[in-house]
Amino acid sequence: MPAVGIFQNVPIDRVVYGRPAASVLAEEAARLGAVRVFLMVSRTLDRETSWIQEMRSALGNRYAGSFDGMPSHTPRDAVLSATAAARAAGADSIVTFGGGSITDAGKMVRLALRHGIDDAAGFDRFAIQVLPDGRRISPPFEGPAIPQIAIPTTLSAGDFNAVAGATDTRTMLKEVFHQPAMIPRVIVLDPAVTVRTPQWLWLSTGIRALDHAVESVCALNADVRSTSESLGAIRLLARALPRTLANPADLDARLEAQMAMWMSMEHHRYGVSKGASHGIGHVLGGTCNVPHGYTSCVMLPYVMRYNEPANAEKQALVAEAMGHPGRPAWELLHEFIAGLGMPRTLAAVGVTEEKFQTVAEVALLDHYLHTNPRPIGGVADILEILRAAAG
């Protein structure tokens, strides 16, 4: 029967690529009518490069203040600290410059400003709830009232998503928040500002982008458009990431990887699901503090091997896009990740077997465990994947 679905347009005004970030930021802030621009930035980049000062200078009188204290996985308490600083500065726009946790923090700060949130419990009513049968309850709420300009320095791709992930430090559970207006209005892809991103972070988040694309190809509800875009992203990443490993100064390869990251997220416009690599990865991040990209390095090949009996034909498309038709996709992914020098086992990222039961139980609360191509029947199935990845 013909494919059916819904394409969800989201309010991204522009993606500007291949130009210097500071000058683009000044132009876009003026176009949006922003007069109190608040920067949320990487502390390391603020201390060790001139880029953020160049942004402040380019903004001139529009610059209102900055925050540089956001940890990984966007904990609620740090979001509240950033919100207080933005509120005190009278921010009418948020600029995020850094990795995925800073991007998500910008979305969460805008949410907190819109709804007057000033304590950790204030976020509770906005988080998506996952029912035992896998259905998600996304509470309706008004989206942020001020825009965000995102300048990513990694490849985690959350800039192209109307979802934010933030960790409830009371439970150490990374939760999901969704509202179409949470997506940044402008995204600036400047390869030059990624050259100071640590190589492990750049490459591991590149595998995160690859995970987005691979699980989209293999999704239960994949269609022609999502599959085509995702296969294109896989081809680009398979070529660009090794080039940036060999020559970190190769800006053409870096921009190619950024464009692939963008392509890897286009499926979110029409609700293409993900699988257990994403679902377990969310828990490894929020509960075990594994860096975002490393979760994909460790989980994606093992989830693909687990799923192979259910979707071998789709996995064959992944193998072909990676340049090796006829070989098992999970095996190619293992080799590709190893070739980039990334970790490939849970032990390598500090997750020992005594944590597996907790990870499995919490993972069942993640929506993507319920949309995995091969059904996940319960904790025992998740434990099977975790033990295979143990190392």
Say yes or no to pLDDT of 350 above 70.
yes
Is the domain of 213 the same as that of 280?
Answer: yes
DSSP state of 126: G
The pLDDT of residue 136 is: 80
Residue 78 belongs to a domain: yes
Query: What is the Cα–Cα distance from 11 to 49, expressed in whole angstroms?
Result: 32
The 10s digit of each residue's pLDDT in 324-341 is 999 999 999 999 999 999
User: pLDDT category, 5, cuts 50, 70, 90?
Assistant: low
Assign residue 191 a region: left if phi > 0, alpha if psi is -120 to 50, beta otherwise?
A: alpha
Coil, strand, or helix at residue 161? coil
Higher local confidence (pLDDT), 270 or 51: 51
Q: Which of 192, 223, 257 is the last residue in one of the domains?
A: 192
Burial class, 7, CB count within 10 angstroms (exposed 0-12 / middle 13-18 / buried 19+): exposed
Residue 2 belongs to a domain: no
Query: What is the Cα–Cα distance from 358 to 280, expressed in whole angstroms?
Result: 11
The 10s digit of each residue's pLDDT in 93-119 is 999 999 999 999 999 999 999 999 999
Residue 34 belongs to a domain: yes
Say yes or no to pLDDT of 1 above 50.
no
Is the domain of 39 the same as that of 118?
Answer: yes
The pLDDT of residue 269 is: 57
The 10s digit of each residue's pLDDT in 291-325 is 989 999 999 999 999 999 999 999 999 999 999 99
The pLDDT of residue 3 is: 61
Query: What is the Cα–Cα distance from 297 to 281, expressed in whole angstroms?
Result: 10
Say yes or no to pLDDT of 367 above 90.
no
Query: What is the Cα–Cα distance from 339 to 241, expressed in whole angstroms?
Result: 10
Query: What is the Cα–Cα distance from 229 to 231, expressed in whole angstroms?
Result: 6
Section 150-168 average pLDDT: 93
**This prediction's pTM:** 0.93
Is the domain of 75 the same as that of 214?
Answer: no
Question: What's the domain range around 183?
Answer: 14-192
Is the domain of 215 the same as that of 336?
Answer: yes
Residue 187 belongs to a domain: yes
Is the domain of 101 the same as that of 221?
Answer: no
Tally of domains within the chain: 2
Output the domain CATH number for residue 81: 3.40.50.1970
The pLDDT of residue 58 is: 98
Is the domain of 181 the same as that of 322?
Answer: no
Section 25-49 average pLDDT: 95
Residue 6 belongs to a domain: no
Q: Which of 141, 168, 192 is the last residue in one of the domains?
A: 192
Q: Which of 57-71, 236-250, 259-273, 342-356 has the lowest mean pLDDT?
A: 259-273
Is the domain of 93 the same as that of 107?
Answer: yes
Percent of the chain with pLDDT over 90: 82
Residue 56 belongs to a domain: yes
Direct distance between the N- and C-terminal alpha carbons of the chain, in angstroms, rounded to an integer: 43
Q: At what angle do helices 199-217 and 224-246 cross, to 10 degrees?
A: 160
Is the domain of 148 the same as that of 276?
Answer: no
Is the domain of 141 the same as that of 270?
Answer: no
Closest by Cα among 350, 332, 243, 340 to 291: 350
